[in-house]
Amino acid sequence: MPKESDFQLTESPVPRPAGGEILVRSRYLSVDPYIRGRLTGVTTYVKGIQPGELVGAGAVGEVVESNDPRFARGDIAEGMLGWQEYAVAPAKALRKFDPEGHPISAALYVLGMPGLTAYFGLLEICRPQPGETVVVSGAAGAVGSLVGQIAKIKRCRAIGVAGSDEKVDFLTKEMGFDSGFNYKTTTDYQAKLKELCPNGIDIYFDNVGGRVTDEVMRLIATRARIAVCGQISQYNATQPEMGPRWLGQLIVKQARMEGFLVFQFADRYEAALQQLSAWLRQGKIRYREDVVEGIENTPRAFIGMLEGRNLGKQLVKLA
């Protein structure tokens, strides 16, 4: 688990943009689980961060200066601007965000990477059909709470697994999930899942891995689809955790398990964002942001998110 003392806040002059670049003053910084992987320094699908380097992360803010025709001063820009107050970046690497009545923080949540992850992970990898039972782990977080709501839009039953009673209440009372359970206080996951999913689990959207996943795998239905979105229970692990070997279930149930990265759907983002925006306007999708203020509180927010203290999308608001 990272510690606050692993991070350092430094000051430097505001940079000036060169040709093709823009200067952005960030309003919201994003705090995401994948950053934990980057902090190991190892490059996977994104470059690892070395000690002393800026923490690369999503952010959204206003264009202060532009040397590129794609952006004008005052436009809203979103992209990998990092945990910093001002950022210079190539205009072509950023998205111009038209809020269309939504708050600009939506660019980091429902109308950004987490929203797209929920959308493509559920609809493309799992292909939900009306009446199916969908189990979501990490359900009260940014991605998970959207997955359950999209499952409901597709007329499925949505069951959420989350780390506190407050989170389970939030899912069933505010986010429209049919049911859920607290994995920290429930001792017999198997009995609980059987009670909540008497006909088996048609779709499992996995954000966490570990023991929750081990128990879900024992109850998958014939032709189940499993989207491996995240494995947050393993992100601080220093060696592989051993567990039951359940791959045989994929044979017996003729099930499909598929890992994905949201970026693989990049050429279809535009249509997905239009749909997510319409669902937001129609009130079919609701969301909760967990906002801390001040760049100096970003490491604390990040560690809190890894510990499950966030409810909804963790963001940092800058002055």
Ligand X SMILES: NC(=O)c1ccc[n+]([C@@H]2O[C@H](COP(=O)([O-])OP(=O)(O)OC[C@H]3O[C@@H](n4cnc5c(N)ncnc54)[C@H](OP(=O)(O)O)[C@@H]3O)[C@@H](O)[C@H]2O)c1
Rule CB under 6 A: which residues touch ligand X? 32-34, 113-114, 117, 138, 140-144, 162-164, 167, 207-208, 210, 229-230, 232-233, 260-262, 305-306, 308, 310, 313-314
3-state secondary structure of 153: helix
Q: Using alpha carbons only, what angle is made at residue 78 by residues 76 and 79, rounded to the nearest 5 degrees? A: 155
Minimal distance in Å, beta carbon 198 to ligand X? 24
Residues 6+ apart with CB under 8 A from 296: 9
Nearer CB in complex with ligand X: 43/199: 43
CB atoms near residue 202 (< 10 Å): 23
Residue 141 half-sphere exposure, CB side, CA atoms within 13 Å? Answer: 28
CB 70 within 8 A of CB 96: yes
Minimal distance in Å, beta carbon 1 to ligand X? 10
Nearer CB in complex with ligand X: 17/312: 312
Our measurement of the distance from residue 202's CA atom to the centroid of its chain's CA atoms, rounded to an integer in Å, reads 22
Q: Using alpha carbons only, what angle is made at residue 230 by residues 142 and 118, rounded to the nearest 5 degrees? A: 45
Minimal distance in Å, beta carbon 229 to ligand X? 5
What's the DSSP call for residue 302?
H
Nearer CB in complex with ligand X: 63/276: 276
Minimal distance in Å, beta carbon 316 to ligand X? 14
Nearer CB in complex with ligand X: 63/285: 285
CB atoms near residue 254 (< 10 Å): 9
Nearer CB in complex with ligand X: 32/202: 32
Minimal distance in Å, beta carbon 169 to ligand X? 13
